[in-house]
Amino acid sequence: MNPIITIDGPSASGKTSVARRVAQRLGIPYVSSGLLYRAVALLGLRQRVSAEEVESHLEKHLLSLEPTAQSNRVLLDGEDVTEALHSLEVDRVVSAVAKRPRIRAYVNQVLRRIPPPFVVDGRDMGRAVFPQAQHKFYLTARPEVRAQRRMLERNVALDTVLAEIIRRDQADQQQSLPADDAIVLDTSALELEEVVEAVLAQIRARNGLREAPTPPA
């Protein structure tokens, strides 16, 4: 069995950390769809052009993602750009990039070329990209909680991060919607491992998918 497990949610809802841990526990690759949009946003920043201009010539560029259970490596025209994708500058423009229909179609093509099994996180993976996925989850949390989480990642003032998250929520509201058959989990009061266990419990209950054995010390 080669399952696809989708974990969607708004910015800083915990989906990336949860998806990575679930993939590790199951011993299958983890895929971060958001990194592909961030790579396109980075391309626009480097070229100093708008999302619309990037969309007009995106097919001239080669974008790929190499997943493992631990992390993802993103290549843009043969260059490893992974380390450059998490910045406030990219945060500010990635929503505009992700709205463009041709960019979304391009990224979806890249994602669909990845062979299952895998755990993928994003905003509409279960609803639009992998509607055939066997297991679908949607994580959410209060904006203040998500801002606290993101602040630790970015080393930026809380007010700045909260304002950016609220702006991202408004910009992404069309893309960030749960699939009709997704299990919705509010992670506001939950620790990471509690969310991971909740996701794994649902997967076990549905088809008995087993976790990978823990390597000997």
Distance CA(178)–CA(14), nearest Å, equals 15
* pLDDT at residue number 24: 93
Say which residue the tokens 């990471």 belong to: 192
What pLDDT is stored for residue 4 in this prediction? 96
Range of the domain at 28: 4-205
Q: What pLDDT, on a 0 to 100 scale, did the predictor assign at position 66?
A: 92
Residue 211 domain flag: no
Q: Quick one: pLDDT at residue 152?
A: 74
User: Considering the domain boundaries, does residue 215 fall inside one?
Assistant: no
Return d(Cα 58, Cα 52) in angstroms, integer: 10
Place of tokens 């304002």: 163
Give residue 136's pLDDT: 97
Provide the residue type at 172 as one letter.
Answer: D
What spatial distance separates the first Cα and last Cα of the chain, rounded to whole Å? 29
Per-residue model confidence (pLDDT) at position 217:
46
Query: Is the residue at 216 inside a domain?
Result: no
- Cα–Cα distance between 113 and 139 in angstroms, integer? 25
In a domain, 213, yes or no: no
Instruction: Label residue 119 exposed, middle or buried (CB < 10 Å: 0-12, 13-18, 19+).
Output: buried
The count of structural domains within the chain is: 1
86 three-class SS: coil
Residue 214 lies in a domain: no
CATH number at residue 174: 3.40.50.300
39 domain-assigned: yes
Q: How many CA atoms lie within 13 A of 16 on its CB side?
A: 15
* pLDDT for the residue 185: 95
Q: What integer pLDDT is reported at residue 1 of this predicted model?
A: 63
**Model pLDDT for residues 100-159, shown as the tens digit of each residue:** 999 999 999 999 999 999 999 998 899 999 999 999 999 998 988 888 888 877 777 888
The verdict on residue 155 lying in a domain is: yes
Residue 213 and residue 141: Cα distance in Å, rounded?
31
Whether 100 is covered by a domain: the verdict is yes
pLDDT given for residue 209 in this prediction: 61
What residues pair up with 72 in beta bridges, in sequence order? 67
Residue ranges, the chain, pLDDT below 70: 1, 69, 174, 208-217
